[in-house]
Amino acid sequence: TVQITEADPFELTANIRLVDWETGDYIDDYEPDNGLETIAVADLLPVGETTYDISTNIVTLALKAGSSFTISTGSNAGVNAQLTYNGNSPTDGWLKLEEVPVTTTRAEATQQVKYKISFNESYTGSSYPRGILHLTDKAGGSEEVILIDTTFGTPVVEPTGGTMNPDGVNKWDATDNILYLVQVIGTNTSTGTINITSIGGSKVELPANSGITVNPTSSVNTTQEYTFRWASTDDVNLTEKEIIVALKNRSEEIKAENIKVKLLPNRINNLQITSPSAGISLSAITATTATLTMPIIKDKQFTLTMDSYSKPTISRCPSWLENITPASTRSTPESKTVSFTFKLIEDAASFDDTQIVFTNATGGMGMTVNIAREFQAPTIIPVGSPLPKTNTYNGTKMTAKQVKSGATSTYQIKVYSLGGNDFYCSNGYFTYSLVSSENNSTKVYRIGIRSGTYNDSGTFNFDIRNSKDTSKKVTHTIEYVSSRPNLRSSTPYDCIYYNATGDANTNLFIKDEEALYGKQELSFSINSPGGLNTPASFNSKFTLTNTHTWSITEPWDTFKLAIAGGSNTNMDGSSSGASLGSYTFTSKESTYFQNLTITFYNRLPIGRGQWAYKINNVYCIRVATYVHYQSAVSVINGMGNGWFILGWPGLRDLFNIGDWSVNREQTQYYPRFFTNVFIEGRFYNTDFYGGDECGLKISNINTTSGTALFKWVTMNKYTAESDYYAVAFHY
């Protein structure tokens, strides 16, 4: 058998195999005892690229890593295997020969062998001469020859990708032969690099309108790095796109393989809110924006969950929200769900910011969450410290005393308002001032009224509003009340007439009141906003003392006015009143209230240290008993102030009895208060008869019938008798 291994126009190289043939029969029936068994070529890799032509014993081996085949045979004497190359015998050729251990399945006399011939991946040469594998029977020299030619292989992408941007998201999936590129925005470019090995060079062909580029597009190098680029795009409506890319052997383009490039939208997806506090909600969600509605209330919090190739970063967050998300790690590039938890900061300096911006860490579309803040009405707590101390605050109503010019009437309140607060009032007398700030949300104010009309009373409203939403407010009321002092009561009842002539001045009249007849003292109570001090000095005919001191629960002072000097004190009286003088009662809270000046007047005459009785419009006082005429005259004249001794005509009219006539008598009903002044006995009048003074004798006083016996008599002018007495009269 002749097997040509090499041929050119000038030389032919061949193997000649001779078979021992002695029988003269047909060669087809000859079976020698020695020699090689039939060879078997198998395990051709890569499948479809490495081939074997059994008719020519030629194996065409793909020039690529992993290309190989096996050959098996057997011989009684054993087999020699030798690998050579056409034209030379390199010590380190492009093929590698190795024996593979086998298990003998025939008789022990037959030795089975198996060899693996593979592409030598460490070969650095640039030529690939035909390989010649000689299999020779060790005993008889029987030989089989396998010729090994080359063919260019399809390009192979190395399992590990090169540089990726965004790193960790773009990737080469060697299992599925897919290069993943994700969307980027702005000035970025999404890139992915793969390494292609292809003896004979490589070439990358993109379909038309693929939207991507590759650099380079081809290379003569066995191993070449190719970078795919996807330009930035802000398109929010992108969908996943798959591109079929052809990888070709540059020397034999028919040797080609396809890979896929997948272009993936890169945005934050599936934004949701979980575990929100009451009133918090998420709405109007688009590819890049959403609206979060949130009541601005202490301790409110919420969690936002979203899907993204890599955990987004928070590039903007309101200063009043605290990110309390626990630290976590996760794998890439698959879209994973991440969460962010935020809690309202009660003491935030400002609630102005209204956006949470999540930046796509991989350069893709971000998410902006616009916050619709729902501010609340302020909370008000009265804390006290009223100035003046009589001011009160109950619920939503303050009662404020009017104050003197230049002062203010106020009360402290605590205002709690997330977002700040302000005051609004249309009344020009309203005033407020900041006392202290406990923190950004809680402040103490002093609110109230400026000085106005001291005697005015009325009400007005004011609003405490949230500074960020003035419709969120609470309305409180200030009732302002007069601070002008007034008479509360008097004892005896209704014995005082109190006539205020201004906010700080009044006239006080001691009235001609029957309850005061014969009394030596009276008392009066004055309501005032802060209490009154007793004047340091007063009319010498009287003493003035405080018998009840002002307090918040009993806001009045009671003063006792007593006639001083005993029987030596006498005073005129009239409808206009005899003046006792003007005296200033200073306010115990003079910072806020005016002093009170009272001008006292006496309308009821005082005789011998007591207020007189009035009988039929004539004032009367019994001034002495067991007295003679001269002594009576002296006492009554000494009283002054309009006191005198009445003549008989006056007595006649007073008691409605007949004219004077000695010993003329008449039983008559006596007038009111008669018995308080007159007693049974004789008292002088100013008339005389003969050498004696005239008088009137009172007897037979019957308190049951209200009658008495009136008798005109004469009285010794110089000698006092036991039933003599004197009465002073006053008109």
Choice among 221-235, 324-338, 386-400 with the minimum mean pLDDT: 324-338
Task: Tell me whether residue 622 is exposed, middle or buried, using C-beta atoms within 10 angstroms of its C-beta: 0 to 12, 13 to 18, 19 or more.
Answer: middle
Q: Is the domain of 292 the same as that of 252?
A: no
Q: Average pLDDT, stretch 529-547? A: 98
Contact indicator for 266, 362 with CB cutoff of 8 Å: yes
Boundary residue ending a domain (106, 123, 151): 151
Q: Average pLDDT, stretch 166-170? A: 91
Which tokens in the block code for residue 483?
A: 């601070």
Q: Using 50, 70 and 90 to split pLDDT, how confident is the model at 168?
A: confident
Question: What is the pLDDT at residue 127?
Answer: 84
Q: Is the domain of 473 the same as that of 493?
A: no
Choice among 332-346, 364-378, 474-488, 525-539 with the minimum mean pLDDT: 332-346
**pLDDT per position as a tens digit, 314-327:** 999 999 999 999 88
Q: Is the domain of 641 the same as that of 692?
A: yes
- Give me the sign of the Cα torsion angle 239, 194, 248, 228: positive
Q: Using 50, 70 and 90 to split pLDDT, how confident is the model at 19?
A: very low
Which tokens in the block code for residue 712?
A: 């005109």
Amino acid identity, residue 38? T
Q: Is the domain of 254 the same as that of 305?
A: no
Most confident of 149-153, 416-420, 686-690: 416-420
Choice among 10-19, 233-242, 403-412 with the minimum mean pLDDT: 10-19
Question: What is the pLDDT at residue 10?
Answer: 55
Residue at 586 is within a domain = yes
Residue of 162, 159, 155, 174 whose CA lies nearest to 223: 155
Boundary residue ending a domain (98, 126, 151): 151
**pLDDT per position as a tens digit, 26-47:** 555 545 556 788 999 999 999 9
Question: What is the pLDDT at residue 641?
Answer: 97
Per the structure, the count of domains in the chain is 6
Residue at 18 is within a domain = no
Choice among 122-131, 196-205, 406-415, 437-446 with the minimum mean pLDDT: 122-131
Q: Using 50, 70 and 90 to split pLDDT, how confident is the model at 20?
A: very low
Contact indicator for 78, 111 with CB cutoff of 8 Å: yes
Question: What is the pLDDT at residue 332?
Answer: 43
State the DSSP H helix or E strand holding residue 434, giving kind and residue range, or none if neither.
strand 430-437
Q: Is the domain of 356 the same as that of 388?
A: no
Residue at 2 is within a domain = no
**pLDDT per position as a tens digit, 249-267:** 999 999 999 999 999 999 9
Q: Average pLDDT, stretch 623-651? A: 96
**pLDDT per position as a tens digit, 513-522:** 999 999 999 9
Residue of 321, 347, 354 whose CA lies nearest to 469: 354
Residue of 557, 567, 651, 555 whose CA lies nearest to 606: 567
pLDDT of 631 over the 90 cut: yes
Question: What is the pLDDT at residue 124?
Answer: 85
Question: What is the pLDDT at residue 142?
Answer: 84
pLDDT of 417 over the 60 cut: yes
Question: What is the pLDDT at residue 104?
Answer: 65
Contact indicator for 279, 295 with CB cutoff of 8 Å: yes
Residue at 391 is within a domain = yes
The alpha carbon of residue 724 and the mean position of all alpha carbons in its chain are separated, in whole angstroms, by 95
Contact indicator for 569, 580 with CB cutoff of 8 Å: no
Q: Where are the beta strands (DSSP E) in 603-680?
A: 606-607, 610-611, 613-615, 618-625, 665-669
Residue at 385 is within a domain = yes
Residue at 180 is within a domain = yes
Does 20 or 234 have the greater pLDDT score? 234
pLDDT of 178 over the 90 cut: yes
Q: Is the domain of 654 the same as that of 669?
A: yes
Instruction: Give helix then strand counts, H and E, for the chain.
Output: 3, 57
Which tokens in the block code for residue 188?
A: 């970025």
Dihedrals φ, ψ of 520, to 5°? -110, -5
Residue at 630 is within a domain = yes
**pLDDT per position as a tens digit, 575-609:** 999 999 999 999 999 999 999 999 999 999 999 99
Q: Is the domain of 495 the same as that of 553?
A: yes
Q: What CATH number is associated with residue 304?
A: 2.60.40
Question: What is the pLDDT at residue 30?
Answer: 46
Cis, bond preceding 216 (omega within 30 deg of 0): yes
pLDDT of 331 over the 50 cut: no
Boundary residue ending a domain (374, 401, 420): 374
Question: What is the pLDDT at residue 77?
Answer: 84
Q: Output the 3-class SS for 255-270.
A: CEEEEEEEEECCCCEE
Q: Average pLDDT, stretch 200-205? A: 95
**pLDDT per position as a tens digit, 59-71:** 999 998 899 999 9
Q: Please enumerate, as own/partner, the contacts of 580-585 that have beta carbons within 8 Å and a separation of 24 or more.
A: 580/539, 580/541, 580/542, 581/538, 581/539, 583/535, 583/537, 583/538, 583/544, 584/535, 585/526, 585/532, 585/533, 585/534, 585/535, 585/557
Q: Is the domain of 339 the same as that of 290?
A: yes
Contact indicator for 19, 32 with CB cutoff of 8 Å: yes
Question: What is the pLDDT at residue 13?
Answer: 65
Amino acid identity, residue 512? D
Residue at 14 is within a domain = no
Question: What is the pLDDT at residue 689?
Answer: 92
Q: Is the domain of 145 the same as that of 69?
A: yes
Q: Average pLDDT, stretch 450-465? A: 96
Dihedral angle over CA of 420, 424, 430, 431, nearest 10: 20
Q: What CATH number is associated with residue 58?
A: 2.60.40.10
CA distance 83 to 131: 7
Q: Count how many residues are written for the chain.
A: 731
Question: What is the pLDDT at residue 430?
Answer: 98
Q: Is the domain of 253 the same as that of 302?
A: no
Dihedrals φ, ψ of 136, to 5°? -125, 135
CA distance 356 to 371: 8
Q: Average pLDDT, stretch 548-567? A: 97
Contact indicator for 441, 450 with CB cutoff of 8 Å: no
Q: Is the domain of 227 the same as that of 324?
A: no
**pLDDT per position as a tens digit, 88-100:** 656 568 999 999 9
The alpha carbon of residue 498 and the mean position of all alpha carbons in its chain are separated, in whole angstroms, by 57
Q: Which percentage of the chain shows pLDDT scores above 70?
A: 93
Q: Is the domain of 425 the same as that of 454?
A: yes
Q: Range of 233's domain?
A: 156-264
Q: Using 50, 70 and 90 to split pLDDT, how confident is the model at 6?
A: low
- Give me the sign of the Cα torsion angle 396, 397, 403, 406: positive
Contact indicator for 600, 579 with CB cutoff of 8 Å: yes
**pLDDT per position as a tens digit, 215-237:** 999 999 999 999 999 999 999 99
**pLDDT per position as a tens digit, 279-302:** 999 999 999 999 999 999 999 999
